[in-house]
Amino acid sequence: MLKNSLEQLNGPQRQAAMIADEHVRIIAGAGSGKTRVLMVRIAYLIEEIGILPWRIMAITFTNKAANEMKERLRAMIGPTADDVRISTIHSLCVRMLREDGMTIGYPSTFTILDPDDQHAIIRRIEAERSISKKDFSPASVTSYISSCKSADVPVEKALAQAASKQKVYAELYEQYEKVRREMKAMDFDDLLREADRMLKTEPQVREKWQKRLDYIHVDEFQDVDPVQYSIVRQLCGPDTKVCVVGDPDQTIYTWRGASVDLILRFDKDFVPCQTIILNENYRSTRSILDASNKLIANNMDRIKKDLFTSSKEDDPIVFHESLEDSEESVFVARQIVDLHKQGIPYSDMALLYRSNFLSRTFEKTFRTVGLPYRIYGGIRFYERKEIKDILSYLRLCTEPDENDPDRLALNLAVTRVLNVPKRSIGEKTIEKIRIQAAQEQINMYEVLSHPENIAKSTASKLLRFYDMIEDLKNIRAQSGLLAMFDALLEESGYEKMLTESDEQERLDNILELRSDIADSLKDAPDMTLEQYLQDIALFTDRSEDGTEQSGVTMMTVHASKGLEFPVVIVTDLNEGIFPNGRAINESGRRGLEEERRLLYVAMTRAKKKLILTWSSGYSYMLDCYKTPSRFLDEIPQEEEEEVSDALQESTDRKRSKGAKVKYRKGDLVEHKVFGQGIIIDIDHNTAMIAFGHKTGVKKIDLDHPAIQKA
């Protein structure tokens, strides 16, 4: 069996599997068969070298990956595989701490705190210190604590560095750690930190574990963080050999602590070391690999490799620009329908986007035309909590509905958002409102204007809520739906709540809902709020055909890591979206390189067909008109299958010889008064330039001294 498995490997794969006397760094490109190599290597060590299986360890990062390894190895060498130490890094740390944690003050029966346990501790501390849960939610506090621990910021340092509101977070961190230690408990971050501390400070423990291991293997090594790296180093004894498998070009989790530097410097920390590059791809076509290679070659923090394939099958990449995001979703839907007619199952197709909020336009189009789809690792747009909350607020701002004369729909809205954000209005108060509404035969919203049998302090909060909604209605009447939407986010405190808890993804979803309303108004300027909510209700209530699980898979690029599909569509390739503007602003070149790695991962999920799409038009999220992603200039388009009219016009202009054109459509420009804009049309020497939504589109002479290229 082993001989057969070795023969099936290519040259570099076989070499990596058979190195037994040195450390090994396997740089495994996407689709290069790395897991198979790792399993053959372990089998080789057991059956050919004679290493005892329990002296071999394999570390991975998910239970799914660990179970897959066990099954593959069992199929290769039988029951002996069960003796190999295959586990996640967290499981390994739990095992070490259960056995030896007493050396650093933990009993073998220590408690592991899950997020609910952490929130309970925080709530207790806040109650004891009279700290408002509204201002410091348990979720935001535990997120702060986890960030501190991931960045190796102890309590003392957090207290010293904290200012203003952060001071309270740091103090809660201090109290949380005090309670946790008194309980002899650990959260998930502590499992790694305390295991690392134990190995560093207790030499007898470190030597005991080192003596148990001859070989350590680490899968997906590009995803390790400094603490995990330190644990591996501590477990490596004088005679232990370490083999790591990973791809620097797929390091996309730096926001969770991963560092590309660790795999890049591995050969300096583990000597002697051989580096084996696996660059034969068994997944994708030549066009996909050529484009991916060209893209990622622009990164500096990497180990050079060019993926190639022996497969003769090929299909040119499709590049497509749409005039606006609604047209982009229609184009994608049309592509999917055409491919399905050619015999490709919907389940063989994946739609990838940079951020969750981008699913909205595609979900809406797919539901409209009856395309089955599923959100992988996420929730459908209109079912997300923040979207339901804001829609409930909007429902409260509607006029009476003749189909709902009692306005019972308002009862549900009141129940959902009366205390969101938290206004210290409890369930008992809401029940009293419900009882009063039933007694007076009115709806719960009307009760808010004259609450009875409710404490004066709470009644005043209800009246303020009622007045806020009435003010929003007035804003709608005077300034329109979008103005009311903006006022709602501010006056309700919802935007502030998400900002202070650093929930940017939820904020992005809400801004996308605003875009949805703006798009609807653009299509139907006379649309009312009531009509919009009715359309959403009809849209979300539309029955499923039961084929959701066999539909098109929609997901973020991060969620797609480790997956593959015959057809992959990567959408919204616009500057500021992909690459993400915040990532670049916060992390500079490193942020840009991670965004490029993210697109590389997206493209290499595709086995046979890759479609890349983007759109122009105004973006409320970016507060400007959209431009194509800079990454598109880094991808060869010699074999493009489809190009939009707008893109073709630009290409033709580029190729025209002798033309003395200073400006062209799509150029970014800077105006002394209006700021930055984008040229959307040129007629001789006069340009239509789109600035931010406050300025809009202006017709400007290109020779005017106020205008210049950005």
**CB-based contacts of 662, cutoff 8 Å, min separation 6:** 702
Structure tokens belonging to residue 661: 């054109």
Q: Which amino acid is at 405?
A: P
Q: Name the catalytic one among 187, 194, 196, 220.
A: 220
Contact criterion met (CB below 8 Å) for 375 and 351:
no
Structure tokens belonging to residue 195: 């295991």
Give the helix, strand, coil percentages of the chain, each rounded to 5. 55, 15, 30
Q: Can you tell me the distance from the alpha carbon of 108 to that of 100, in angstroms, rounded to the nearest whole number? A: 7
Pairing of strands 215-218, 56-60: parallel
**Residue 219 among the catalytic residues:** yes
Contact criterion met (CB below 8 Å) for 636 and 294:
yes
**Residue 133 among the catalytic residues:** no
The string of DSSP letters for 213-244 reads -SEEEESSGGG--HHHHHHHHHH--TT-EEEE
**Residue 268 among the catalytic residues:** no
Q: Name the catalytic one among 25, 34, 241, 360.
A: 34
**Residue 534 among the catalytic residues:** no
Q: Name the catalytic one among 250, 361, 398, 556.
A: 250
Overall residue count recorded for the chain in this entry: 710
What is the dihedral sign for C-alpha 622, 626, 630, 634? positive
CA 520 from centroid of its chain's CA atoms: 27
The alpha-carbon radius of gyration of the chain (Å, integer) is: 29
Q: Name the catalytic one among 13, 35, 251, 436.
A: 35
The string of DSSP letters for 99-123 reads HHGGGGT--TTPEEEPHHHHHHHHH
Q: Name the catalytic one among 190, 214, 219, 386.
A: 219
Q: Can you tell me the distance from the alpha carbon of 89 to that of 92, in angstroms, rounded to the nearest whole number? A: 5
Q: Name the catalytic one among 605, 607, 608, 609.
A: 605
Pairing of strands 675-683, 686-690: antiparallel
**What letters, b where the CB count within 10 A reaches 16 and e where it falls short, cover 537-550?**
eeeeeeeeeeeeee
What is the dihedral sign for C-alpha 520, 521, 527, 531? positive
C-alpha to C-alpha distances, 274 to 27, 230, 248, 443, nearest whole angstrom: 11, 20, 16, 74
**What letters, b where the CB count within 10 A reaches 16 and e where it falls short, cover 613-629?**
bbbbbbbbbbebbbbbb
Q: Can you tell me the distance from the alpha carbon of 574 to that of 630, in angstroms, rounded to the nearest whole number? A: 8
What is the dihedral sign for C-alpha 261, 265, 269, 273? positive
**Residue 535 among the catalytic residues:** no
* SS3 labels along 404-418: ECCCCHHHHHHHHHC
Cα angle at 366 between 361 and 372, to 5 degrees? 140
Contact criterion met (CB below 8 Å) for 693 and 618:
yes
Q: Can you tell me the distance from the alpha carbon of 346 to that of 565, in angstroms, rounded to the nearest whole number? A: 11
Contact criterion met (CB below 8 Å) for 334 and 611:
no
Structure tokens belonging to residue 420: 């969101």
Query: Which of 219, 198, 197 shows the shortest CA–CA distance to 208?
Result: 198
- Looking at the DSSP bridge assignments, the partners of residue 352 are 555, 570
**Residue 605 among the catalytic residues:** yes
Q: Annotated active-site positions, please? A: 34-35, 219-220, 250, 605
